[in-house]
Structure 1
């Protein structure tokens, strides 16, 4: 059996990315934190880890892989992420009724915030 243990994000500014992703996901670093690597884990204990690896790499668009973050209150989460340093990404092919907002972290790594609010009963 396989499970996702950690998602690794390469970065240039490890400390800045650590602060962003820890606050964005309410994760905490596993000690000891290395000068070029940090593993962030959920405070609640549930979910995959996010590891940050201080290995600069070329940014390619569109990215081959990205995170989908599910939010019960999408608007509030997008605003909170923007206050932490994330930016919205406009995409001309995004349908008007899309349930996602494309964003990027302070270093340009893209992710989507998905509206996962429970639907009201009809």
Structure 2
């Protein structure tokens, strides 16, 4: 048995200036900025959300700007396998920390390890 839930809305930003995108989305969504540079590499920024809301992450990317979802789980392999059984395909395992997946609809999304200490009220139980 494992658990998963919608974890993060990731705004993929094809931009040399992630700060400009962070400022825009912070004001547009009414969410304070947690960090302009989450990991110190200039690639990720985060907006503040409540514990029962998805995390909002901005990511500097080389591909076209788009939005993707992250699903968090306490068992990465079990969740990726469950999603494959529903028709998704594994695209790439990134640093052994998360799976980039492709939904039957053509949308990319990620399966990631648990992002917050508590899963919260919107938890799915599988298996």
TM-score between the two structures when normalised by the length of structure 2:
0.39
Higher relative contact order (CA 8 A, sep 6+): 2
Query: So what's the TM-score if we normalise by structure 1?
Result: 0.40
